[in-house]
Amino acid sequence: MSDCLFCKIKNSEIPADVVYEDEHCLAFRDIQPKAAVHLLVIPRKHVENLDDLTDDDSEMISHIMLTIPRIARQQGLVEGYRTVTNNGAMSGQEVYHLHFHILGGGKINPL
Protein backbone atom coordinates (compact mmCIF):
# COMPACT_ATOMS: atom_id res chain seq x y z
CA MET A 1 0.00 0.00 0.00
CA SER A 2 1.95 2.97 -1.32
CA ASP A 3 -0.14 5.61 0.51
CA CYS A 4 -0.18 3.89 3.89
CA LEU A 5 1.68 5.74 6.64
CA PHE A 6 2.67 2.61 8.53
CA CYS A 7 3.78 0.81 5.35
CA LYS A 8 6.05 3.80 4.77
CA ILE A 9 7.48 3.39 8.28
CA LYS A 10 7.88 -0.35 7.67
CA ASN A 11 9.75 0.41 4.42
CA SER A 12 11.90 3.09 6.13
CA GLU A 13 10.44 5.73 3.79
CA ILE A 14 9.56 7.90 6.77
CA PRO A 15 11.44 7.85 10.06
CA ALA A 16 10.23 6.23 13.26
CA ASP A 17 11.76 5.28 16.58
CA VAL A 18 11.73 1.52 16.00
CA VAL A 19 12.31 -0.48 19.20
CA TYR A 20 11.74 -4.02 17.88
CA GLU A 21 11.44 -5.87 14.58
CA ASP A 22 11.28 -9.41 13.31
CA GLU A 23 9.98 -11.32 10.28
CA HIS A 24 6.28 -10.63 11.07
CA CYS A 25 6.11 -7.32 12.90
CA LEU A 26 7.76 -4.18 14.11
CA ALA A 27 7.22 -1.87 17.06
CA PHE A 28 7.91 1.85 17.21
CA ARG A 29 7.13 4.75 19.51
CA ASP A 30 3.86 6.60 18.98
CA ILE A 31 4.56 10.14 17.78
CA GLN A 32 1.94 11.56 20.19
CA PRO A 33 2.37 9.42 23.31
CA LYS A 34 -0.66 9.02 25.59
CA ALA A 35 1.41 7.33 28.33
CA ALA A 36 5.04 7.43 29.50
CA VAL A 37 5.65 4.48 27.20
CA HIS A 38 3.43 4.31 24.12
CA LEU A 39 4.37 1.86 21.39
CA LEU A 40 2.63 0.69 18.25
CA VAL A 41 3.08 -2.89 17.09
CA ILE A 42 2.26 -3.48 13.42
CA PRO A 43 2.37 -6.50 11.12
CA ARG A 44 4.71 -6.21 8.15
CA LYS A 45 1.77 -7.32 6.01
CA HIS A 46 -0.67 -4.52 5.19
CA VAL A 47 -3.92 -5.46 6.92
CA GLU A 48 -6.41 -2.67 7.64
CA ASN A 49 -7.57 -3.85 11.05
CA LEU A 50 -8.82 -7.01 12.80
CA ASP A 51 -11.82 -7.16 10.41
CA ASP A 52 -9.40 -7.58 7.51
CA LEU A 53 -7.70 -10.71 8.87
CA THR A 54 -8.29 -14.11 7.27
CA ASP A 55 -7.39 -17.64 8.27
CA ASP A 56 -4.19 -17.23 6.25
CA ASP A 57 -3.07 -14.67 8.85
CA SER A 58 -3.30 -17.10 11.79
CA GLU A 59 0.44 -17.57 12.17
CA MET A 60 1.17 -13.86 11.84
CA ILE A 61 -1.46 -12.70 14.33
CA SER A 62 -0.64 -15.35 16.91
CA HIS A 63 3.02 -14.41 16.57
CA ILE A 64 2.15 -10.77 17.25
CA MET A 65 0.04 -11.70 20.30
CA LEU A 66 2.94 -13.73 21.69
CA THR A 67 5.45 -10.99 20.89
CA ILE A 68 3.61 -8.08 22.52
CA PRO A 69 4.43 -9.23 26.09
CA ARG A 70 8.08 -9.75 25.08
CA ILE A 71 8.28 -6.21 23.69
CA ALA A 72 6.59 -4.85 26.82
CA ARG A 73 9.08 -6.66 29.07
CA GLN A 74 11.98 -5.48 26.90
CA GLN A 75 10.75 -1.90 27.38
CA GLY A 76 10.63 -2.32 31.16
CA LEU A 77 6.86 -2.60 31.52
CA VAL A 78 7.15 -5.25 34.21
CA GLU A 79 4.30 -3.92 36.35
CA GLY A 80 1.66 -3.97 33.66
CA TYR A 81 0.59 -2.34 30.46
CA ARG A 82 -2.50 -1.95 28.29
CA THR A 83 -3.02 -3.07 24.71
CA VAL A 84 -5.60 -1.29 22.56
CA THR A 85 -6.65 -1.85 18.95
CA ASN A 86 -9.08 0.47 17.21
CA ASN A 87 -11.17 -1.08 14.46
CA GLY A 88 -13.13 1.16 12.12
CA ALA A 89 -14.46 4.69 12.03
CA MET A 90 -16.59 4.62 15.17
CA SER A 91 -13.62 3.40 17.25
CA GLY A 92 -11.50 6.39 16.26
CA GLN A 93 -9.12 4.40 14.07
CA GLU A 94 -6.97 6.95 12.24
CA VAL A 95 -4.40 4.78 10.50
CA TYR A 96 -5.81 1.88 8.48
CA HIS A 97 -2.88 -0.48 8.98
CA LEU A 98 -3.53 -2.87 11.87
CA HIS A 99 -1.70 -1.78 15.00
CA PHE A 100 -1.72 -2.66 18.66
CA HIS A 101 -1.08 0.20 21.05
CA ILE A 102 1.03 -0.73 24.08
CA LEU A 103 0.57 1.81 26.89
CA GLY A 104 2.44 1.76 30.16
CA GLY A 105 5.25 3.17 32.23
CA GLY A 106 3.03 4.47 35.01
CA LYS A 107 -0.52 4.30 36.27
CA ILE A 108 -2.98 4.34 33.39
CA ASN A 109 -6.48 5.70 33.84
CA PRO A 110 -9.19 3.02 34.02
CA LEU A 111 -11.10 2.46 30.78
List active site positions.
Answer: 99
* Contact range with ligand AMP by CB under 6 A, out of 26-34, 51-59, 68-76, 103-111: 26-34
Can residue 31 be called a binding residue for ligand AMP (CB under 6 A)? yes
- For residue 7, which phi and psi values (nearest 5 degrees)? -65, -35
Residues in the chain: 111
* Contact range with ligand AMP by CB under 6 A, out of 24-32, 54-62, 63-71, 73-81: 24-32
Per-residue b or e along 3-41, where b marks 16 or more CB atoms closer than 10 Å to that residue's CB: eeebbbbbeeeeebeebbeeebbbbbebeeeebebbbbb
Strand, helix or coil for residue 94: coil
Can residue 30 be called a binding residue for ligand AMP (CB under 6 A)? yes
Can residue 51 be called a binding residue for ligand AMP (CB under 6 A)? no
Can residue 16 be called a binding residue for ligand AMP (CB under 6 A)? yes
Q: Which residues bind ligand AMP (CB under 6 A)?
A: 5, 16, 30-32, 40, 86, 92-95
